[in-house]
Amino acid sequence: MSLSREQMLVEMGITPIWVLRDTASEASPVVPEMAISEPVATASSTVEKPIPVATKPMAATPQASASHALINAMDWPALTKQVAECRACPLCQQRKQAVFGVGDENPDWLFIGEGPGADEDAQGEPFVGQAGKLLDSMLASLDIARGDRVYIANAVKCRPPGNRTPESAEMAACWPYLERQIALLKPKIIVLLGKAAVHAVLHDDKSLASLRGQRFEHAGIPVVVTYHPAYLLRNLPDKAKAWEDLLFARRTLREQATPELPF
Ligand code: URA
């Protein structure tokens, strides 16, 4: 059964339904009272998990630089094969399979999460568990769907044991793959879901709260930041903020598609 966009917004926990506008007033959406029937988040679940990181990308070894250069020259099938066989970091030891990504290979949107969990490791597709359901609702609220103008990937391609946050070195080892995916996909906008994705792409370790609502860039592509769906499942009131972020992302995408004329 396919749900209407309104039903999807309800699913996201955002009711009454927000009216999507194409005008500048969308810039400061009025956040209505949210009707949230699920339990209120506990104090221990109100902050995103910290990532043990350095704030700059790790210095590459000569070997790493050489393989980075090789990866930079790969086409999509070669990259897919390389990722499936990757042994660049210890995460390969316990994975069932590497999870490359899923979706439209000519996308407008690229959503980047943290890393595969148990379900993703088993099925070989990102965001197929509970967080994935919420991500699908978030996509539906934008009138887009997995596989249609959207690609979904992760900061790391192999499941961190026990679903822990990937370490800085693991994200650094996986970055050349994600970087090449971005270069080949050429999305019009990148949405970073949570701190790990922010760390992987922007090499920034500030709080999400301080990064939301800003337009960053990677390789000339606009990048915006929002909360990870798994975090939103534990912190329901922040769904409204995520919705603001998605509207901001959509405006940014539209500005990108139709830049203002220089006169
Ligand atoms: N969380 C993520 O960040 N990625 C997935 O693929 C699944 C859950």
State the Rg of the chain over Cα.
18
pLDDT at residue number 179? 98
Dihedrals phi, psi of 84, to nearest 5 degrees: -60, -30
Would you tell me how many other CB atoms lie within 10 Å of the CB of residue 116? 29
C-beta of 116 in contact with ligand 1 (< 6 A): yes
Q: Give distance in angstroms: CA of 174 to centre of ligand 1.
A: 15
C-beta of 160 in contact with ligand 1 (< 6 A): no
pLDDT at residue number 22? 39
**Ligand 1 atom nearest to CA at 128:** 7
pTM of the predicted protein model: 0.81
- Ligand 1 pocket test: pick from 154, 159, 233 the residue with the most ligand atoms within 8 Å of its Cβ: 154
The sheet with strand 216-218 has its strands ordered as 102-103, 150-154, 109-113, 189-193, 221-226, 216-218
**Ligand 1 atom nearest to CA at 126:** 6
- With the C-alpha atoms ordered 239, 240, 245, 248, is the resulting torsion angle positive or negative? positive
pLDDT < 50: residue spans in the chain:
1-3, 8, 16-46, 52-58
Q: Which residue has the tokens 């379900």?
A: 119
Q: Give distance in angstroms: CA of 145 to centre of ligand 1.
A: 17
Residue with the smallest CA separation from ligand 1 atom 6 is: 126
pLDDT at residue number 7? 53
The three-class DSSP label of residue 103 is strand
Q: Give distance in angstroms: CA of 113 to centre of ligand 1.
A: 5
Q: Which of 75, 254, 77, 99 is nearest to 174 (CA)?
A: 99
Query: Domains in the chain and their CATH numbers?
Result: 5-53+63-255 (3.40.470.10)
C-beta of 120 in contact with ligand 1 (< 6 A): yes
**Ligand 1 atom nearest to CA at 120:** 6
C-beta of 101 in contact with ligand 1 (< 6 A): no
